[in-house]
Homo-oligomer: A and B are copies of this chain.
Amino acid sequence: MLRIYISNTDKAEHTSLYEAIAFEAKRYGMAGATVYKGVMGYGASLELHSDKFWEITEKIPVIVEIIDQTEKIDSFSEHILPWIKSLSKGCLITSQKIDLILSKQGGKI
């Protein structure tokens, strides 16, 4: 599992960075991707703020979580590193081992 911590305001060529990463994961053939929004946070690309203060700053944390086998995760994380490195803002990328219990395919995927 790969997790990329960015902000909802990070951009990649006129689109949201988190959407761009999710679509790229799909194009790259990664098994699954999920995008979460946090409520508040700080770290690489964020100062501490909360969604209560969206009038001041509309930035909230966004996490893109990608699941696949170790080799594909390593390969994809190298693939997108140039995107991330070109950001003026910071970014945090983590990985962790998980066990896959079931991966059931639906009709249309």
Contacts and interface: CB of A to CB of B under 8 A. Distances in A.
Interface of A: 1-3, 5, 18-19, 22-23, 26, 31-45, 47-48, 50, 61-63, 67, 77, 81, 84-85, 87-109
Give the oligomeric copy count: 3
A84 to B, nearest CB: 6
A100 B93 contact: yes
Contacts of A104: 44, 84-85, 87, 90-92
A63 to B, nearest CB: 7
Contacts of A26: 42, 48
Contact of A95 (B33, B89, B99): B99
Given A5-B32, A41-B22, A61-B34, A101 B88 contact: no
